[in-house]
């Protein structure tokens, strides 16, 4: 008899949702988390005042060089002395990059994974995203359509809580919303001017996973409305933003069906050729280095697109000499992220007599994709959405002229309003963009290091050049002054922290790893519902989609178990 009905590998965004959905259907579930336990009362630091975090909350420079060169280089804004425990130390968790390439693998190992540190932008994919591969003859067709996932979006959004506004856009379907964080006056002016000048472009409030009108269900989990502190990268004691730790794991816990084991690094999945099923999940304890094997009737991989692919590649057998469920040779390939380039900023005059109250968390405005939707003259495929916002420039950290009373009191005044945007673009799937097992290098637990070989193609380069030009044109139309374009090439692959595509869905087992239910074509009791299943990346932030597919797959898997088909 198996130890559990289901094992979920990973407790982050998708793992938490898988665990919730499976436990609520009566399954006994074991969640294996490779990192230590996060206890909010002990580990969240959101209640610290500025004067309670010495040295401007900066991590010592030598410590960054020694432990966080990759992580800090990628997300300096989030790695503070009081939050560094949410991020891995690069020297303890190294990886390798193919010569001439560079990759940002930015992550944290602990309860709830990156769902603690995410930026909470939350958007549905649209109907066009599920048909683009087919219509353009790129990669393989998604085996599902928007209508298949729509009810699961609704279910997840209702549970998680998404602040946003109904806009009726076909390419960016509305979610189940709680009240949006209203636009500032400068943002409203920008919206009006841009929408007047560019027919088909819209400027809308960012959609973010924060509670603004908590439901009974959300309150029953100890969650309450966002307090507008913008301390989210420190955790949230109000549980106002969605994370596994704030929502799905407590929901799973209260069923009485959940067991979580921390410091459990999965090294491989045992395959039984007689049954064509996974027969065991091999684990090493990160601290004691003891090995053991757990068994279950089904396995959900939710370790992240990269880590789940690594687990499959490490799970070799006579049946699958290139890695479990890898008959198609697609495991680890088609690694995608979203791509950005230069940020564009400008001053919107006329709002100097305005300020705001409260600190809005995450985004302000979002400009949904219009390229190849309402404008079809583009020299590239797919498109991008802009994220940004407008706020008073404020004191600029002391980098203004003047001394004495006038300088001191200048910091009270909001000053001119600055608006900025950054494009998040779709990356096309390319089988040569991949993660593999390093042939010789291993980590301290004797697991092969990840070896990345990822670069952008012409489409990403052309798209981002055009995106910057588009942004400048919109800023000019809006009457912005002092428009600046930051010096930047394309963002480093991985830097948007939206990795996906390494075990793609498809209709044909010869060219894809998973079927339309996120179930491995060749291993019926294996489901993968982190970003690995994504057949294309779209341009929307993907966490909501991972969770919707997790809920859908969990329902399907539980149904198969109940029917005796697994």
Instruction: Check residue 44 for interaction with another protein (CB under 8 A).
Output: no
**β strands within 111-194, DSSP E:** none
Site string for another protein, 426-465 (x = CB under 8 A): ----------------------------------------
Q: Which of 197, 291, 359, 442 binds another protein (CB under 8 A)?
A: 359
340 vs 384: CA distance, rounded Å = 9
CB of 549 to another protein, least distance (A): 32
Instruction: Check residue 219 for interaction with another protein (CB under 8 A).
Output: no
Among the residue ranges 215-223, 224-232, 313-321, 507-515, the one whose residues contact another protein (CB under 8 A): 224-232
Q: What are the backbone dihedrals phi and psi of residue 271, each rounded to the nearest 5 degrees, phi first?
A: -115, 130
CB of 405 to another protein, least distance (A): 4
Instruction: Check residue 411 for interaction with another protein (CB under 8 A).
Output: yes
CB of 164 to another protein, least distance (A): 14
Instruction: Check residue 165 for interaction with another protein (CB under 8 A).
Output: no
Q: Which of 98, 138, 169, 228 binds another protein (CB under 8 A)?
A: 228
49 vs 33: CA distance, rounded Å = 31
CB of 227 to another protein, least distance (A): 5
449 close to 325: Cβ distance less than 8 angstroms? no
Region of 367 (left: φ > 0; alpha: ψ -120 to 50; beta: rest) is: beta
372 close to 393: Cβ distance less than 8 angstroms? no
Among the residue ranges 175-183, 294-302, 321-329, 462-470, the one whose residues contact another protein (CB under 8 A): 175-183
308 close to 530: Cβ distance less than 8 angstroms? yes
Q: Which of 151, 402, 457, 559 binds another protein (CB under 8 A)?
A: 402
Structure tokens at 223: 């969650």
Q: Are strands 448-453 and 526-528 parallel, antiparallel or unpaired?
A: unpaired
Q: Which of 78, 117, 144, 183 binds another protein (CB under 8 A)?
A: 183
Q: Which residue carries 């990059």 as its tokens?
A: 97
Residues 6 or more apart whose Cβ sits within 8 Å of residue 173: 124, 126, 127, 146, 150, 153
The CA-CA-CA angle for residues 173, 176, 180, to 5°, reads 90
Q: Which of 137, 318, 401, 446 binds another protein (CB under 8 A)?
A: 401
Instruction: Check residue 360 for interaction with another protein (CB under 8 A).
Output: yes
334 vs 467: CA distance, rounded Å = 24
Instruction: Check residue 397 for interaction with another protein (CB under 8 A).
Output: yes
The CA-CA-CA angle for residues 553, 554, 555, to 5°, reads 90
Q: Which residue carries 């809005």 as its tokens?
A: 360
Report how far apart, in Å, the C-alpha atoms of 88 and of each of 33, 76, 92, 252 are.
14, 13, 8, 26
CB of 212 to another protein, least distance (A): 9
Footprint of another protein on residues 250-309 (CB under 8 A)? Answer: none
3-class secondary structure, 545:
helix
Instruction: Check residue 60 for interaction with another protein (CB under 8 A).
Output: yes
Q: Which of 1, 41, 42, 55 binds another protein (CB under 8 A)?
A: 55
Instruction: Check residue 403 for interaction with another protein (CB under 8 A).
Output: yes
Q: Is 138 exposed, middle or buried (0-12, 13-18, 19+ CB in 10 A)?
A: middle
Footprint of another protein on residues 121-150 (CB under 8 A)? Answer: none
CB of 392 to another protein, least distance (A): 10
CB of 17 to another protein, least distance (A): 27
399 vs 187: CA distance, rounded Å = 25
Structure tokens at 51: 């004067």
316 vs 218: CA distance, rounded Å = 43
Q: Residues 484, 486, 490, 495: what is their CA dihedral angle, to the nearest 10 degrees?
A: -120
CB of 544 to another protein, least distance (A): 22
Structure tokens at 139: 């990669």
Among the residue ranges 53-61, 146-154, 323-331, 458-466, the one whose residues contact another protein (CB under 8 A): 53-61
Among the residue ranges 93-101, 223-231, 456-464, 508-516, the one whose residues contact another protein (CB under 8 A): 223-231
Instruction: Check residue 393 for interaction with another protein (CB under 8 A).
Output: no
Q: Are strands 29-32 and 258-261 parallel, antiparallel or unpaired?
A: parallel
464 vs 107: CA distance, rounded Å = 25
End-to-end CA distance of the chain: 14
Instruction: Check residue 77 for interaction with another protein (CB under 8 A).
Output: no
Nearer to another protein, 50 or 100 (CB): 50
Among the residue ranges 23-31, 49-57, 481-489, 520-528, the one whose residues contact another protein (CB under 8 A): 49-57
178 vs 158: CA distance, rounded Å = 9
Residues 6 or more apart whose Cβ sits within 8 Å of residue 67: 89, 90, 91, 92
Footprint of another protein on residues 543-562 (CB under 8 A)? Answer: none
Structure tokens at 405: 């009373």
CB of 362 to another protein, least distance (A): 12
Q: Which of 121, 175, 184, 246 binds another protein (CB under 8 A)?
A: 184
Site string for another protein, 3-42 (x = CB under 8 A): ----------------------------------------
Instruction: Check residue 207 for interaction with another protein (CB under 8 A).
Output: no
Site size for another protein, by CB under 8 A?
Answer: 51
275 close to 126: Cβ distance less than 8 angstroms? no
Instruction: Check residue 62 for interaction with another protein (CB under 8 A).
Output: yes
Q: Which of 295, 319, 355, 511 binds another protein (CB under 8 A)?
A: 355
Instruction: Check residue 182 for interaction with another protein (CB under 8 A).
Output: yes
Q: Are strands 384-392 and 417-425 parallel, antiparallel or unpaired?
A: antiparallel
Q: Which of 26, 151, 273, 358 binds another protein (CB under 8 A)?
A: 358
Q: Which of 168, 200, 256, 398 binds another protein (CB under 8 A)?
A: 398
CB of 399 to another protein, least distance (A): 6
Binding site for another protein (CB under 8 A): 47, 49-51, 53-62, 65, 181-185, 187, 226-229, 353-360, 395, 397-409, 411-414
């Amino acid at each position: 008899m198996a130890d559990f009905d289901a094992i979920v590998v990973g407790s982050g965004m998708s793992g938490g949702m898988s665990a919730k959905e499976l436990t609520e259907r009566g399954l006994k579930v074991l969640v294996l988390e490779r990192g230590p336990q996060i206890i909010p009362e002990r580990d969240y630091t959101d209640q610290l005042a500025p004067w309670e975090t010495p040295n401007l909350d900066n991590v010592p420079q030598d410590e960054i060089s020694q432990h966080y060169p990759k992580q800090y280089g990628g997300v300096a804004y989030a790695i503070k002395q009081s939050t560094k425990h949410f991020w891995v130390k690069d020297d303890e968790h190294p990886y390798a990059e193919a010569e001439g390439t560079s990759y940002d693998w930015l992550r944290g190992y602990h309860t709830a994974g990156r769902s603690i540190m995410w930026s909470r932008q939350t958007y549905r994919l649209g109907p066009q995203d599920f048909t683009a591969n087919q219509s353009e003859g790129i990669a393989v067709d998604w085996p599902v359509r928007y209508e298949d996932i729509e009810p699961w979006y609704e279910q997840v959004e209702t549970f998680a809580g998404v602040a946003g506004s109904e806009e009726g856009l076909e390419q960016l379907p509305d979610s189940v919303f709680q009240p949006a964080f209203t636009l500032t006056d400068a943002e409203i002016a920008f919206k009006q001017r841009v929408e007047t000048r560019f027919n088909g472009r819209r400027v809308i409030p960012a959609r973010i996973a924060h509670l603004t009108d908590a439901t009974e269900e959300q309150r029953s989990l100890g969650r309450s409305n966002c307090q507008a502190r913008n301390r989210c990268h420190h955790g949230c004691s109000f549980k106002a933003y969605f994370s596994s730790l704030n929502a799905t794991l407590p929901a799973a816990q209260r069923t009485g069906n959940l067991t979580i084991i921390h410091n459990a690094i999965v090294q491989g999945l045992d395959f039984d050729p007689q049954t064509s099923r996974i027969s065991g999940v091999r684990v090493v304890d990160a601290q004691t280095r003891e090995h053991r094997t757990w068994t279950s009737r089904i396995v959900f991989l939710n370790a992240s697109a990269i880590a789940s692919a690594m687990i499959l590649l490490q799970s070799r057998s006579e049946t699958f000499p290139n890695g479990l469920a890898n008959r198609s040779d697609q495991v680890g390939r088609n690694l995608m992220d979203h791509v950005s380039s230069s940020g564009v900023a400008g001053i919107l005059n006329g709002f100097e007599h305005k300020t705001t109250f409260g600190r809005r968390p995450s985004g302000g405005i979002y400009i949904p994709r219009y390229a190849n939707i309402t404008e079809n003259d583009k020299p590239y495929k797919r498109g991008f959405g802009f994220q940004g916002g407008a706020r008073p420039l404020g004191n600029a950290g002391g980098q203004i002229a003047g001394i004495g009373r006038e300088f001191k009191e200048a910091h009270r005044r909001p000053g001119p309003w600055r608006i900025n945007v950054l494009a998040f673009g779709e990356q096309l799937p390319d089988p040569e963009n991949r993660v593999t097992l390093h042939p010789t290098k291993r980590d301290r637990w004797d697991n092969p290091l990840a070896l990345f070989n990822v670069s952008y193609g012409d489409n990403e380069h052309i798209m981002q050049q055009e995106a910057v030009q588009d942004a400048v044109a919109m800023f000019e139309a809006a009457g912005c002054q002092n428009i600046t374009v930051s010096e930047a090439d394309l963002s480093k692959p991985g830097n948007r922290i939206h990795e996906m595509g390494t075990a793609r869905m498809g209709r044909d087992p010869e060219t894809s790893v998973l079927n339309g239910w996120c179930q491995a074509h060749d291993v019926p009791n294996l489901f993968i519902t982190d970003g690995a299943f994504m057949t294309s990346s779209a341009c929307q932030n993907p966490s909501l989609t991972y969770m919707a597919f997790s809920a859908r797959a969990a329902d399907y898997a539980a149904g198969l178990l109940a029917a005796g088909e697994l």
